[in-house]
């Protein structure tokens, strides 16, 4: 699979300037950052959450984790939990499982963007498969994500022991 059609349409409609960065197949955002030789803080990952009201996307750096308590407090949705893998496949039909681009508003989902990404000089994110990333400067990324609500809901993960 290549770039998702939904993402391609978003990039085109916004007149986004970007480059495609190819990398060896990877299975996680941390693995993707290493394979693409980019800082993990600049790789935006998309986490899909759900509750009885539907789905919500959280977009944050790959080196961070969602703080559900912060998201619950900011959204008033106190039952948000990680969405099931089977739901991801159904909702993002033009993407490989686990390679979700951050433009979830284009898929009809309310999206939260963690403020920590706005302080990066540039941002990378999944193109819809496990072998390509989109790379753009932060201003372009924030323009692409203009329908997402910016908030603080993530925390840096502890470094893994080597």
- How much is the pTM? 0.93
Tens digit of pLDDT at every position of the chain (162 positions): 579 999 999 999 999 999 999 999 998 898 999 999 999 999 999 999 999 999 999 999 999 999 999 999 988 999 999 999 888 888 999 999 889 999 999 999 999 999 999 999 999 999 999 999 999 999 999 999 999 999 999 999 876 544
If DSSP codes are grouped into helix, strand and coil, which group holds residue 85? helix
Q: Are 62 and 44 in contact (CB under 8 A)?
A: yes
Q: Domain boundaries in the chain?
A: 5-156
Homologous superfamily assigned to 5-156: YbaK/aminoacyl-tRNA synthetase-associated domain (3.90.960.10)
Across 108-127, b (16+ Cβ under 10 Å) vs e yields ebbbbbbebbeebeebbbbb
């Amino acid at each position: 699979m290549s770039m998702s059609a939904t993402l391609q349409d978003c990039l085109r409609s916004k007149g986004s300037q970007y480059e495609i960065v190819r990398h060896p197949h990877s299975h996680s955002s941390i693995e993707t950052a290493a394979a693409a030789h980019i800082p993990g803080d600049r790789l935006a990952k998309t986490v899909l959450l759900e509750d009885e009201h539907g789905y919500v996307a959280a977009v944050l750096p790959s080196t961070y984790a969602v703080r559900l308590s912060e998201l619950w407090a900011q959204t008033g949705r106190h039952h948000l939990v990680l969405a099931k893998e089977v739901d991801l496949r159904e909702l993002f039909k033009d993407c490989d499982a686990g390679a979700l681009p951050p433009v979830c508003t284009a898929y009809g989902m309310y999206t939260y963007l963690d403020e920590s990404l706005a302080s990066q000089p540039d941002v990378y994110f999944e193109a819809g498969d496990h072998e390509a990333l989109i790379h753009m400067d932060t201003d372009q990324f924030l323009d692409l994500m203009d329908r997402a609500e910016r908030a603080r809901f993530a925390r840096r993960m502890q470094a893994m022991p080597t």
